[in-house]
A = this chain, B = another copy of it.
Amino acid sequence: MSILVVGSVALDTVKTPLGRVEEVLGGSASYFSVAASFFAPVHLVAVVGQDFEESHARIFRERGVDLGGLTKVPGRTFRWSGAYGEDLNQRTTLSTELNVFEHFRPTLSDWLKKCEFLFLANIDPDLQRSVLEQVKRPRLVACDTMNFWIAGKPESLRKTLEKVDVLLINDEEARQLAGETNTVRAARRILSWGPTSLIVKRGEYGAALYNNHSHFAVPAYPLLDPVDPTGAGDSFAGGFMGYLARAGSVSNTTIRQALIAGSVMASFCVEDFSLRRFESLRPEEIRTRLQEFRRMTEFEDLV
């Protein structure tokens, strides 16, 4: 089954203790779609400016991401610049230029409206809802958001949450959104607002799934040489949705497996700047790392 993602395509300038890259491909929808493409067909809906070059789109074409919904309009592409501290956990945003993204109004073709799996990346919750209003009965809708929308458009975000099945956010955002300092309480409150599953991303500590059935936690893959965490959360979402779309199932069993796939794709993302690691990534490497999660988490029954 195929996936539709609506979000940002950006040109990023990123500095980490290991180096600096300038005007490289970034944006939530970019990371998501490339990570998901290893599992299922992906349709990307986003906007870029006249300065977005064919070379920037190369990885999308190589990965078979459908760019029918990628609109090029007059103006400059969305730009983001950030820097990471020594341990890669602290990120400082140096600049955000919305540019053409400021007037992004996603319009889906009749064909895209029928996608079974929909991911609403971190964009204005009003826009997320405008996409939701266009699609026809998707099997699963997942979305992301961030502190900017939690603080700035809480009512709109709540209306979006009523209509999504899975919310993927980090733990700080979960606490902020729920107004609860305890993550478990925060999760319960968020689930009462609509989503049937909440996935809390915890960076180097992995991710946790909260839903009505159960609690599930998956560690992060331990990386000896992380290079750039930009896009890890979106790559996680891409692996997660990709796995579900390939399985064609949204059972609790599949959702757990999909969290492992998400962790695996996030771990590859962090191994290089921008989407570079995905350029060389081979399916066998994904399989091997999926298996490593079994070894990292298995234990015999306690006596």
Q: Which residues of A contact B (CB under 8 A)?
A: 17, 86-88, 175, 181-185, 188, 202, 204-206, 208, 210, 214-219, 222-226, 243, 247, 253, 256-257, 259-261, 290-291, 294-303
CA separation between A261 and B282, bound complex, in Å?
Answer: 38
Copies in the complex: 2
CA separation between A175 and B253, bound complex, in Å?
Answer: 36
Give the contacting residue for A216; candidates B206, B247, B299; CB below 8 A. B299
CB closest chain-B residue, reference A219:
B217
Closest CB pairs A-B (n = 3): A217-B219, A205-B205, A87-B181
Q: Is the CB of A301 within 8 A of B294?
A: yes
Give the contacting residue for A208; candidates B222, B256, B290, B299; CB below 8 A. B222
A297 neighbours in B (Cβ, 8 Å): 216-217, 297, 299
A17 neighbours in B (Cβ, 8 Å): 181
CB closest chain-B residue, reference A89:
B181
CA separation between A185 and B202, bound complex, in Å?
Answer: 20
Also in contact, A87 and B261, with CB within 8 A (given A217-B219, A296-B216, A300-B256): no
A216 neighbours in B (Cβ, 8 Å): 296-297, 299
